[in-house]
Amino acid sequence: MGLFSLTQELAIDLGTANTIIISDGKIMVDEPSIVALDFHTGKVVAIGNQARQMHGKTHQNIKTIRPLKDGVIADFNATEMMLRGLIKKVRSRSHLFSPTLKMVICIPSGSTNVEIRAVRDSAEHAGGREVYMIYEPMAAALGAGLDVEAPEGHMIIDIGGGTTEIACISLGGIVCSESINVAGDVFTEDIQSYVRQQHNIRIGERTAEDIKIAVGSAVSELDDEPEDFVVTGPNVLTSLPSTITLSYSEIAYALEKSLVKIDATIMKVLEMVPPELYADIVKNGIYLAGGGALLKGLDRRLAEKTNIPFVIAEDPLRAVARGTGVALKNIHKFSFLMK
């Protein structure tokens, strides 16, 4: 009967920018959360990396969709199709029957019951038999190697694609948290509008993303300065090609108004932290995870604002996914997993 009761366990970081799936402790899928559909039939043309290559370059018969916005599902059907396609890449078919799926999926800490239900339904429709949920800050803390069940205060900031999650964790629970819709996608939009306003050049989402990765900075002065980024695009007024060079200090200026909102939210959470836990946080430092943690000089900027040391988690892009994998391995040990 072992053939009939085979279970495959998957840890899924269903992110606004990227979806990561871990099976047997290994990252099996790490692809952009994008799906390309046939405009007339609604069938999937491509998902993940293939769909990203099409993003912004499609004709009228194909549309590309980013089904998650601000950390939540914006397009239910597209999310389901994307999940099905990505799970198919890791689902083991070496047995006579395809295995039942046990999943742990991470969700933003500010998710409403309706949003949680939407994620659960998507996972179940994509083949999940047992579906558990974990809040993103908790997963990020596990991925950063913190002992979340200790009677000690830890603070984690997860800057993803759609949301920035800030939480104080102690005794396996979230003591206080805030979730704001200022994260990687907003940074990308800031760069697009800055280049348009200051240089009269239109650039796409993918180009703005490349600029953010290459010269994105949170401070206007860095010790290790990255090389300037050369951009070519159509002039807004003449539609003729224009080429400009962007420095990291320009991008720091472009991102300033969004970073100020993150600064304010961190201070708001610190105000809510009980005194005993606050002392632990000052001693242990605040941990940064998510793609936004890779913004050059961000840890230095935040440390100067708060007078608390900041630590960037190892491989911050995948910290949440790793933490979800840890939760999957210890599914019955952790009381904070939601079924």
Average pLDDT over residues 105-109: 87
Place of tokens 């908790």: 138
pLDDT band at 248 (very low <50, low <70, confident <90, very high): very high
pLDDT of residue 333: 83
Fold matches, 148-182+259-317 and 184-254: no
Determine the pLDDT at residue 152. 93
Is the model more confident about 297 or about 333? Answer: 297
Lowest-confidence segment of 40-44, 256-260, 300-304, 311-315 by average pLDDT: 40-44
Residues 177-194, mean pLDDT to the nearest whole number: 94
Q: What is the rounded average pLDDT for all residues in the chain?
A: 89
pLDDT at 154: 95
How much is the pLDDT for 309? 95
- The full set of domain ranges for the chain reads 7-139+321-329, 148-182+259-317, 184-254
**Structure-model confidence comparison of residues 7 and 148, the more confident one:** 148
What confidence tier does 35 reach under pLDDT thresholds 50, 70, 90?
very high
Please, which residues have CB within 8 angstroms of residue 239's CB and are 6 or more apart in sequence?
Answer: none
Of all residues in the chain, what percent carry a pLDDT higher than 70?
A: 96
For residue 2, pLDDT over 50 is answered with no
Write out pLDDT tens, residues 60-70: 899 999 988 88
Q: Is the pLDDT confidence value at 93 over 60? A: no
Mean pLDDT value of segment 277-293: 94
What local confidence, expressed as pLDDT, does residue 97 receive? 60
Q: Is the pLDDT of residue 96 over 60?
A: no
- CATH of the domain spanning 7-139+321-329, picked from 3.30.450.20, 3.30.420.40, 3.20.20.70, 1.10.357.10: 3.30.420.40
Annotation: CATH topology of 148-182+259-317: Nucleotidyltransferase; domain 5 (3.30.420)
pTM: predicted TM-score of the whole model, two decimal places: 0.89
Q: What's the fold here for domain 184-254?
A: Actin; Chain A, domain 4 (3.90.640)
pLDDT in tens, 289-311: 999 999 999 999 999 999 999 99
Question: Which pLDDT score, from 0 to 100, does residue 216 have?
Answer: 93
Q: Is the pLDDT of residue 215 over 90?
A: yes
Q: So what's the pLDDT on residue 118?
A: 86
